[in-house]
Structure 1
Amino acid sequence: MPSRHISGLRRRRRARRRRRAARDWADGLPADVLLAILHRLDHIDILMAADRVCRSWRRASMDEPSLWRRVTMRGHEGIARRINRCGMACEAVRRGAGQCEAFCGEHAGDDGFLIYLGQQSSCLRSLHLISCNDVTDVGFTEALKALPLLEELELSLCDNVGGDGVYEFVGEVCQPLKCFRLSKHCFNNKEKNVDKDALGVANMHGLRSLQLFGNVISNKGLETILDNCPHMDYLGIRHCFNVDMNKTLLAKCAKMKTIKLSDDPIDDYDLQVESAGMTVQSPVRTYAWRNLWPFNYYYDIPISHDYDISFPPLSR
């Protein structure tokens, strides 16, 4: 009886080894070919699927920081509320091994993640945050202190960022900043302090590209920005209906290469546009699908923290 049991164990072990060998079918692929394949995948797909294909794919995704130099975590609406995107974002930054230069996240950031990003990626040059309602002024400003090389910044549909003094702080800390994008859910003509954002943006003196959407900025605020940002060659103010492009503003914009006015078409606008007065709900973050990957490790991190996501050609 014991001999039968031992022989059965041996057969099962041999079967497992055969299955493992068959599963590791990418062993013969050259490293550059394998990386070329992985570079074509979305980073969420790498973390949730490609990372589990076989040992070769997993080693390549874990041990090659260049794969995580420019991280994009957008879309995937069908599963956005069933996975821990902040944990996945932290894992992506960790795999970058300090070489992450650009991060674009949709529903994929909070204060803890931003601080972690600053600690791990001080060479970051591009940061795009979209619908990150868990990011607040406190965490955002704290993270910026560790990102002095930032050249591109987007804060779209981030309802909890943009309090008094925040954009002024951006201009003071991020001196190399050249591109700034600020998108609101919709134009709200009930706001009283219409030029609050404009006074902060005017402190970003090195701007070459400014994209505002749904902002209540007035002519006076736009003039202030143009007077303080003399190098700007791209201006987008679509759905900024308080601006009336008079002769004064047109003269200040005469040297710009591209201008998109408040009534211009938004066919190429890549974010959701809502009607005025619509209630915007914060995304619900749950932690199902833990069997796929233990991304919830991120919440143990103490808080002390080939995708082109740059602005050019500035068509948005």
Structure 2
Amino acid sequence: MDPPPHPSDEFRNWLELPRDLTKSILLRLGAVEILTSAQMVCSPWRKLCKDPSMWRTVHMCKPLSHWDISDLEKMCRQAVDRSCGQLVDICIKYFGDDELLMHIADSSSQLKRLRLVSVYDISDEGLSEVAAKLPLLEELDITLCCSLSKEALKAMGRCCPHLKSFKYNEKGYRTPYMECNEVALAIAENMPRLRHLQLFGNNLTNDGLQAILDGCPHLESLDLRQCFSVKLTGNLERRCAQQIKNLRLPHDSTDDYEFGAELDGYGSFDDDYPSGSSDIDHLSHSDYYEFSDGSNFSDLYDSDYDYDDYYDRNQNVNYGDFYLD
């Protein structure tokens, strides 16, 4: 009988995995994890983590309260820079401003999906300028952000003619505090190719809904949950049923809505999301990263630095503090 295999024989050498398989594994990590840990494992991983194709999608959407806002913005910029113009999908949450958004637009002419969640420092002017640089944009999600004027939304529609999906989600209210169709009219007049529209918590009325149905003839799905100024009756109700394949009504369940949707008696609901956090991570094309406390990994990121030699000399170094939960 053959002797049992030695325990050491049961372990695979991760460095021997095919490159495509290693890439697939690393793509399942967040950008912060890549920046602070994965790319420091060994030279081959570090080289792979610098491949622009690793950064076609950049999602910084998880709450990471232990990160400083300025660090998150630096990491986002570095992730965008690493894509070398190949970025097609980005999501940022709890941080960001006009300057960061402009950097994304200037570096990402191929961008097709932009998602902004709880980003309160983006202005009408900033969004309008960015729109002109994103002619290929197909999906736009603006959720729980600062209120934008109809002019900014018109600019997005005019400058992004391929826009097929638009989400403009606000806080819901138990009773309508004001009826306004500015957003609805901006959509109806400037986004004719829309197929999917979500207006959670919007204060449009039946007139605004009618305008959307007229101006967006290709619309397939429409989410009007907590749009309590809309009263679907008669001809409008029949038209929605005929034209829209997937319709969510104002009083429909919000159980599958990914954000807090509880209403209070005064017309607002609690925002349970902390400030400053995310799921994405990164190094800049210059391979230099300085944290808000003044520390940095610049010696590790030096392109001429022998990381394998560093690792051999520092096997007892604990990198646990740099891993994400």
- Place the TM-score, normalised by the shorter chain, in its bin: 0.7 to 0.9
Number of residue pairs the alignment of both structures matches? 267
Unaligned runs of 5+ in 1: 1-24, 295-316
1:129 paired with 2:116, answer yes
How far apart are the structure 2 equivalents of 1:145 and 1:247? 40
> Cα gap change, 1:178/1:261 in structure 2, threshold over 3 Å: closer, same or farther?
same
How far apart are the structure 1 equivalents of 2:176 and 2:135? 36
> Cα gap change, 1:231/1:171 in structure 2, threshold over 3 Å: closer, same or farther?
same
Query: Hey, what does 1:198 align to over in structure 2?
Result: 184
How far apart are the structure 2 equivalents of 1:59 and 1:209? 39
C-alpha displacement of 1:288: 3.7
1:176 paired with 2:162, answer yes
C-alpha displacement of 1:79: 2.6
How far apart are the structure 2 equivalents of 1:193 and 1:168? 20
> Cα gap change, 1:107/1:80 in structure 2, threshold over 3 Å: closer, same or farther?
farther
1:85 and 1:107 in contact (8 A); partners too = no
How far apart are the structure 1 equivalents of 2:297 and 2:119? 22
Query: Hey, what does 1:291 align to over in structure 2?
Result: 295
2:115 and 2:140 in contact (8 A); partners too = yes
Q: Secondary structure at the match of 2:197?
A: strand
How far apart are the structure 2 equivalents of 1:242 and 1:235? 16
Q: Report the aligned-residue RMSD.
A: 2.4
Paired AA for residue 291 in structure 1: S
Structure number with greater CO (CA < 8 Å, separation at least 6) is 2
1:1-316 map, 5 Å: 26-62=14-50, 64-81=51-68, 84-159=71-146, 161-187=147-173, 189=175, 191-192=177-178, 194-202=180-188, 203-253=190-240, 254-273=242-261, 275=263, 276-277=267-268, 283=275, 288=292, 291=295
1:102 and 1:125 in contact (8 A); partners too = yes
Q: Secondary structure at the match of 2:186?
A: helix
> 4+ residue runs of structure 1 moved beyond 4 angstroms?
80-83, 188-191, 278-282
How far apart are the structure 2 equivalents of 1:201 and 1:46? 39
Superposed CA offset, 1:36-66 (max 9, x none): 111111223222332333322221111x222
C-alpha displacement of 1:272: 2.4
> Cα gap change, 1:199/1:255 in structure 2, threshold over 3 Å: closer, same or farther?
closer
C-alpha displacement of 1:193: 5.1
C-alpha displacement of 1:265: 0.8
Query: TM-score under structure 1 normalisation?
Result: 0.77
Q: Secondary structure at the match of 1:45?
A: helix
How far apart are the structure 1 equivalents of 2:93 and 2:237? 35
Query: Hey, what does 1:303 align to over in structure 2?
Result: none
How far apart are the structure 1 equivalents of 2:296 and 2:247? 46
Unaligned runs of 5+ in 2: 1-12, 278-290, 299-325
2:87 and 2:110 in contact (8 A); partners too = yes
1:68 and 1:92 in contact (8 A); partners too = yes
Q: Secondary structure at the match of 1:168?
A: helix
C-alpha displacement of 1:191: 4.5
> Cα gap change, 1:221/1:149 in structure 2, threshold over 3 Å: closer, same or farther?
same
How far apart are the structure 2 equivalents of 1:157 and 1:163? 14
1:65 and 1:95 in contact (8 A); partners too = yes
> Cα gap change, 1:136/1:210 in structure 2, threshold over 3 Å: closer, same or farther?
same
1:184 and 1:214 in contact (8 A); partners too = yes
Paired AA for residue 170 in structure 2: K
How far apart are the structure 2 equivalents of 1:246 and 1:292? 61
> Cα gap change, 1:282/1:218 in structure 2, threshold over 3 Å: closer, same or farther?
farther
Q: Secondary structure at the match of 1:265?
A: coil
How far apart are the structure 1 equivalents of 2:33 and 2:274? 24
Paired AA for residue 259 in structure 1: L
How far apart are the structure 2 equivalents of 1:249 and 1:260? 14
> Cα gap change, 1:41/1:144 in structure 2, threshold over 3 Å: closer, same or farther?
same
How far apart are the structure 2 equivalents of 1:188 and 1:207? 28
Query: TM-score under structure 2 normalisation?
Result: 0.75
> Cα gap change, 1:72/1:31 in structure 2, threshold over 3 Å: closer, same or farther?
same
1:171 and 1:201 in contact (8 A); partners too = yes
Paired AA for residue 41 in structure 2: V
